[in-house]
Structure 1
Amino acid sequence: MALEKIRVAVTGEYSYEAWVDQAVRWNGWLDPHLPIHEVRRLAEHTQADMNDGHQVDTVHVIDGYEFAEEDGATRRRAASVVLKISWDYLFEEGPQQVASIVKPDNDGRYPIGGWEWTWYQVEGGEAE
């Protein structure tokens, strides 16, 4: 999988730094993998859209700590869990079916909305 760093957008209002494999597409749309700082921006934007009355999927970053073995010792380090909520299906499916944990890829980037959202490359870089 040959990933390249580009800027992507889904609504045209905001763009995000992402890594994509241009050959991997869903109906022509991209499957971006976003670094955590861009996931945080996406979470802010999707939640603001929902608060403004738009029925959209929302992204949430929950921060906490994990314990990990480092240099022969157990250490506490910051950790994040990323959730995507598909609100359109809540009434019919229930909370367990509409909440998805988004796991990072091997490079620590999060594949959000690929195969569901209409992500496209922003020509020239910035959509903002």
Structure 2
Amino acid sequence: MDFFNFLAFYLYVYKFFLPKIGRVLLFREKRIGISQQGESTLEEEKSQIRHGVETLVTEALHISKGVLGDNLTQTSQWCEKKKEEIQKRNWKAINGSYISSIGERALSGRLAFLPLFPALPPQILWSTVSSKLKTLNNTSS
């Protein structure tokens, strides 16, 4: 009788439990395979995201560098233009009077030396002085 109970128990286990346990083990094996495959897929996805972020940051830096360079050149050009406008508008009269005062001082210094050189004819002397004045006036304007 013990033999029949033992045999019935093992037949019951063999008929009902072993196929379920086999299915559970197959399912676990598939899940482990999928999870391991998912890890490699996860690593690939992480590397793709990292590469995408690096590309995006690189492009953003190039664009911002170009924009900043353009703004810097435009700003320097604007500053130069405004400086020239201010110099033309505000300092033109002052600059002209400064140049003429320099010319007058140079002329008075040269005229002071006239008595020292009486051998020069007055026409040559005055033509030289007038040409110097003309060149001073041309450079001041």
Provide the TM-score with structure 2 as the length reference: 0.20
Larger Rg computed on CA atoms: 2
The answer to which structure has the higher strand fraction is 1
Structure scoring higher RCO (CA < 8 A, sep ≥ 6) equals 1
The answer to which structure has the higher helix fraction is 2
Provide the TM-score with structure 1 as the length reference: 0.22
